[in-house]
Amino acid sequence: MIDDDFTIASVLGQDKAKKMLRGAVRSHRLSHAYLFRGPAGVGKKTLARAFGNYLNCQAPVADQDACGSCRSCRKLKSGNHPDLLLVEPDGAAIKIKQIRELKHALTFPPFEAKYRIVLIADVHTMRREAANSLLKILEEPPPGNQLILSGDEAGDILPTILSRCQIIPFTGLARELVADRLAATGIAPDEAASLAAIADGSLGRAKTLADSELLETRRAIIAGLLEMKQAKRPAAATVFALAEQAAGLADRLPDLLDLVKLWFRDLIMLANHLPEEIVNRDLPGLADRNGVGWTAAELLDRLDLFDKARRQLARNCNRTLVCEDLFFGLL
């Protein structure tokens, strides 16, 4: 995997963040704590690891990146470096117990690295109690420690944390970059382009969606709906079978519904003569300019059914029943 390289250059996009970090190293003006902030799944944690590698690299390349092969780089890459501390949410949040353990660990100097890299990931999950416990360390970390926090911009990050870090902004990735990176992992180019569009600038989300069971189920549902629509009669047995298959995805069912909804959105684009807006280039039914049987108004109505289904799922309604209701409604 290209991502496992952990050099700054191997991280997708984020030119501004890279420039800020390299500039800080070059001018010997490292901030004691950085907060990498931006959308989910755009490379914050990956760049944090790469930056840590660079800071500790024994033979940096052209004054701007880790070499990827010296002893320090190899050890940090393996994830087993004693001077790489990673704090991640335990369940839904970073807990105060984890921060206390971290503070204890920081009372000792680094084992061997120039900088001990302390990555506190997803700080938007941290509640006030845990955040307060972290403030002193953030303000004045013991020497030899480089703190890097990451947080999603959609989540709330406490102002007390924000004010004590230098913020490095991350942005959504260009669709082409995400598609190319997916294709490099062996995904068919058409499918990679669809996934990149669906994931809306997040490589992390695109990778989650690239799950083959999810994509196969999406294809089966869409083919089934199309077949029934064109036969002009809903077949109850088919709907029940498709609902069962969809419900089998369990926690990933909301993702499936988003994917199928996007196909309906594409049909709307087609009905409105905007073929260039189509996202799902790998799916059936979108090559026919005459549409597949729904009018533009009918299609718009159907988008609401997806929102209704998502609400029902959020309330823990029975997954199979939600899908049956939705699929009958879509026909």
Binding site for Zn ion (CB under 5 A): 57, 66-67, 70, 73
State in angstroms the smallest separation of the CB of 66 from Zn ion: 5
Angstrom distance (rounded) from CA 141 to CA 158: 19
C-alpha of 165 from chain center = 23
CB of 50 to Zn ion, least distance (A): 11
Tokens linked to 76? 């940090």
Q: Residue 173's Cα: distance from chain center in Å?
A: 11
Which residue, 10 or 245, is less far from Zn ion as judged by CB?
A: 10
Q: Which is nearer to Zn ion, 68 or 285 (CB)?
A: 68
Residue 93: helix, strand or coil by DSSP? strand
Indicate the residue among 70 and 235 with the shorter CB distance to Zn ion. Answer: 70
- 25 vs 70, which CB is nearer to Zn ion? 70
| Nearest distance from C-beta of residue 116 to Zn ion, angstroms | 16
The nearer residue to Zn ion, 47 or 134, going by C-beta atoms, is: 47
Contacts for 73 with CB less than 8 Å, ≥ 6 apart: 6, 53, 56, 57, 58, 66, 67
Strand order in the sheet with 84-87: 84-87, 116-120, 145-152, 33-38, 166-169
Please report how close the Cβ of residue 117 comes to Zn ion at its closest, in angstroms.
14
Contact 195, 75 (CB under 8 A): no
